[in-house]
């Protein structure tokens, strides 16, 4: 496994592989890997000849007062975790390598980016679409894998890839949960034991809403009320958003069907957790 820092060197590596007729699967991350990332890497390994992991804490997708400075970074730890999955290259550039003086381009997607995380994190998705476009240009993959925990991000990247005619297959992979239901996230490392316990209310609320909808409750307002009441039991919880949306358009719905996704973002202290579930699908045990 090789670690490449320089974007040009990464691009040359990828172009050489492609000239040899080899396919490249790509998993973009901000590092501090967990089992969710490793599941993407294993899936990528099975689907292509070469596997590239990027680790870059992208400054442009963090707003003022967000956790850019404190975001966990540990390349040695990440390399040790990634190696057994069969990663060929870890691409880990610096911010000045990605955004050199004079950098002036921004990729902006309208519509899908406006609600949910886009409403509470101004500019976040411009940062994501810009860096993912750059990473796609540098890594030149045929296939890129993203987790469904960032449900809105996945929808945005699918649309961007389609709108820009990028010849890259976008693969969404299921949320990986701890045994008690907490969706895996690098940000879980911020939680004290007490806040982590309260954070379980997210998966619990999703589980309850999913069960109620599968038992026939299709009124979104009733299901949202159930979720508010469950999360409201936790003293440190502050709901950022709690919505039931159509999975492709991300527009709120009033009646639940097979395409309805319940999306949550909740602060526990200063840590913001997100989670989601397609309501009519059974919630994982």
Residues that bind ligand PAF (CB under 6 A): 28-30, 58, 61, 128, 131-132, 150, 153
Q: Which is nearer to ligand PAF, 132 or 223 (CB)?
A: 132
Smallest gap from Cβ 181 to ligand PAF, in A, equals: 21
Helix, strand, or coil (residue 161): helix
Q: Which is nearer to ligand PAF, 70 or 192 (CB)?
A: 70
Smallest gap from Cβ 259 to ligand PAF, in A, equals: 23
Pairing outcome for strands 24-29 and 143-147: parallel
Choosing from 34, 37, 108, 277, which is the catalytic residue?
Answer: 37
The secondary element (H helix, E strand) that includes residue 278 is strand 271-278
Q: Concatenate the DSSP letters of all residues of 229-265 into one string.
A: HHHTTSTTEEEEEEEEEETTT--B-SB--TTEEEEEE
Q: Which is nearer to ligand PAF, 153 or 210 (CB)?
A: 153
Assess whether 37 carries a catalytic annotation: yes
Q: Which is nearer to ligand PAF, 109 or 256 (CB)?
A: 109
Q: How many CB atoms lie within 10 A of CB 91?
A: 25
Which distant-in-sequence residues (6+ apart) come within 8 Å of 211 by Cβ? Answer: 283
Smallest gap from Cβ 218 to ligand PAF, in A, equals: 32
- CA dist., res. 199 & res. 209, Å (int): 16
Q: Which is nearer to ligand PAF, 25 or 30 (CB)?
A: 30
Helix, strand, or coil (residue 28): strand
- CA dist., res. 130 & res. 155, Å (int): 15
Smallest gap from Cβ 43 to ligand PAF, in A, equals: 16
- CA dist., res. 29 & res. 38, Å (int): 11
Instruction: Give the chain's radius of gyration (CA, Å).
Output: 19
Q: List the catalytic residues.
A: 37
């Amino acid at each position: 496994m090789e670690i490449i820092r320089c974007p040009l060197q990464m691009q040359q590596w990828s172009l050489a592989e492609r000239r040899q007729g080899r396919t490249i699967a790509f998993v973009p991350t901000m590092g501090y890997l967990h089992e969710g990332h490793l599941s993407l890497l294993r899936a990528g390994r099975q689907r292509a000849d070469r596997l590239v992991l990027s680790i870059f804490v992208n400054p442009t997708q963090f707003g003022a007062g967000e956790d850019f400075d404190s975001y966990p970074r540990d390349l040695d730890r990440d390399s040790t975790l990634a190696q057994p999955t069969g990663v060929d290259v870890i691409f880990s550039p610096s911010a000045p390598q990605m955004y050199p003086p004079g950098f002036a381009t921004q990729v902006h997607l309208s519509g899908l980016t406006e609600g949910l995380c886009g409403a509470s994190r101004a500019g976040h998705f411009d940062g994501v679409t810009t860096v993912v476009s750059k990473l796609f240009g540098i890594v030149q993959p045929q296939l890129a894998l993203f987790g469904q925990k960032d449900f809105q991000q996945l929808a945005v990247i699918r649309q961007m890839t389609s709108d820009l005619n990028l010849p890259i297959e976008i693969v969404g992979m299921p949320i990986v949960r701890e045994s008690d239901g907490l969706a895996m996230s690098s940000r879980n490392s911020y939680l004290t034991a007490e806040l982590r316990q309260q954070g379980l209310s997210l998966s619990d609320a999703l589980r309850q809403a999913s069960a109620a909808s599968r038992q026939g409750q299709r009124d979104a307002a009733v299901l949202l009320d159930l979720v508010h009441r469950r999360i409201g039991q936790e003293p440190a919880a502050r709901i950022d958003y709690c919505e039931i949306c159509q999975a492709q358009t991300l527009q709120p719905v009033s009646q639940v069907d097979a395409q309805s996704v319940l999306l949550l973002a909740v602060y526990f202290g200063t840590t913001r957790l997100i989670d989601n579930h397609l309501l009519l699908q059974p919630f994982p045990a």
